[in-house]
Chains A and B, each alone.
Chain A
Amino acid sequence: MKDLFRGELVRFTMEEPETRSKAEARWQRDSELHRLADSGPAQLNSEKTIKEWFEKQTEEGFKPERYGFSVRTLAEDKYIGFLGIWVDLIHSEAWVGLGIGERDFWSKGYGTDMMKLCMQYVFRELGLQRLSLGLHEYNPRALRSYEKCGFRLEGRTRQDLLREGRRYDSLWMGILREEWLEMQKGDGK
């Protein structure tokens, strides 16, 4: 069987609350990262507050609709980002969001590798029918990466983002289980 947690460049882990809060507090200060990944206003929280979130998460234990991973590089074993999956079991669908906090690892294929691992997890382990995601029009790097992974653009909600006084669209993408399976054949896997 395939190693679910290991890709070509990265692996999925779950870092300790202490490690995660230190990194998150640092990554939160990167407003460009925030504006690429999120549609709401950027916000800064104290390391204490962030640590309390992660501790509360640990306290409450795993929730059936939520899967979160920390991401480490294989080469340097460096903790560079995160990936979260929200599952709707009733309709057999998941939504994914990801971020690379360490900017030195942008534009080098790490995001694409993270997404490939995510797709493998969603279709091989969670057994779902569909994986969805949303992104901003002004993030062409992410669009290219997701297209490379096999996602199809399913539409755009017009002008629903307001950044620096200008309006931008949100893009909606999705991939179906059979589309992903078809791609696996091509890879000889």
Chain B
Amino acid sequence: MLDIQTPLFESPDLRLGPIDHEKDPEIESKWTHDSEFMRLIDTSPARPMSAAIVKKQYEKLEKQIEENKNLYHFMIRTKADDRLIGKAAIQWIEWSNGNAFLRIGIGSAEDRRKGYGTQALGMLLRFAFAELNLFRLSAIVPEYNEGAIALLQKFGFTQEVCRRRALERDARRWDLYVFGLLRDEWQITATKS
């Protein structure tokens, strides 16, 4: 049966929602002052950002969504107190191949290791496979991001590519992994849980 009753954007503790241009910039600005967070979510150089810059980036992002039609972006909030805790996206969608890349990040250290990543990724995968009808999803992760690797493996992702020494950080080179999950594989793990 078609499941349209189960909300796409809600999990037990979290909700996916749009950007709040008033409140979110200040919170995300705080996250960007944590270099560890910045180095986990992105391969571009970590740098602190003012709320004003973050605001500008949101505007750019929404313009890009409007123009390119290959990107879906979500803010992750707690249902209990509507607090912004992270962000997630399906990006670089290739509609003709049914392929896309995912991103996910929990902003502050206190909110990590609480199962929020698991709940958010669960929603993101359902959105990608059951709403966008994608055939597969990829994720790019540096070898040092053990938390992300464990999370992806929990959902059945396979490490498909090892781009040897593709990343430079802390004056040494690191491998960059590409993980992949097919829709069929997701369906198996989704019914089990």
Give me the interface of A with B, judged by CB distance under 8 Å.
39-41, 90-93, 129-130, 132, 152, 154-162, 167, 172, 174, 176
Number of interface residues, chain B, beta carbon within 8 A: 26
**For A160, what are the chain B residues with a Cβ–Cβ distance below 8 Å?**
94, 97, 99, 136, 138, 180
Residues in B neighbouring A90, C-beta threshold 8 A: 43-45, 168
Alpha-carbon distance A132/B178, docked complex (angstroms): 14
B19 to chain A, nearest CB (A): 27
* Whole-angstrom distance between the Cβ of A170 and the nearest chain B Cβ: 9
Closest to B99 in A: A160
Q: A130's contact among B45, B158, B165, B180, by CB below 8 Å, is which?
A: B165
Question: Which of A91, A132, A158, A162 is in CB contact (< 8 Å) with B96?
Answer: A162
Indicate if the CB atoms of A157 and B161 lie closer than 8 Å: yes
User: Which of A92, A162, A172 contacts B135, CB < 8 Å?
Assistant: A162
User: Distance in Å from the Cβ of A169 to the closest Cβ of chain B?
Assistant: 9
Residue pair B94, A174 in contact (C-beta under 8 Å):
no
A158 contacts B97, CB within 8 Å? Answer: no
Asked whether B164 lies within 8 Å of A154 as measured between CB atoms, the reply is: yes
Encode B158-173 as 1/0 by CB contact (under 8 A) with A: 1111111111100001
Q: A154-B162, A176-B164 are in contact. List 15 more A-B contacts (CB 8 A).
A: A39-B97, A40-B94, A90-B44, A90-B168, A132-B166, A154-B161, A155-B162, A156-B160, A156-B161, A157-B161, A157-B178, A160-B99, A161-B97, A162-B135, A174-B164
Q: Decide yes or no: A91 and B178 within 8 Å by CB, A129-B165, A130-B166, A132-B166 being known contacts.
A: no
27 contacts between A and B (CB under 8 A): A39-B94, A39-B97, A40-B94, A90-B44, A90-B45, A91-B43, A91-B166, A91-B167, A92-B168, A129-B173, A130-B164, A132-B166, A152-B164, A154-B163, A155-B163, A156-B160, A157-B136, A157-B180, A158-B160, A159-B135, A159-B136, A160-B99, A161-B99, A162-B135, A172-B178, A174-B163, A176-B165
Say whether B38 faces chain A, with CB atoms less than 8 Å apart. Answer: no
Within B76-122, the residues touching A (CB, 8 Å) are 94, 96-99
Q: Of B44, B45, B138, B167, which is within 8 A of A157 by CB?
A: B138
> Which A residue sits closest to B173, measured CB to CB?
A129
Q: Is the CB of A155 within 8 A of B178?
A: yes
Q: Which residues of chain B are within 8 angstroms of A92 by Cβ–Cβ distance?
A: 168
Q: Is B182 an interface residue (CB 8 A)?
A: yes
Task: Give chain B residues whose Cβ lies under 8 Å from the Cβ of A154.
Answer: 161-164
Residues B97 and A162 in contact, CB atoms below 8 Å apart: yes
B98 contacts which chain A residues (CB < 8 A)?
162
Chain B nearest CB from A127 CB (Å) reads 13
Question: What is the bound-complex CA distance between A157 and B136, given in angstroms?
Answer: 10
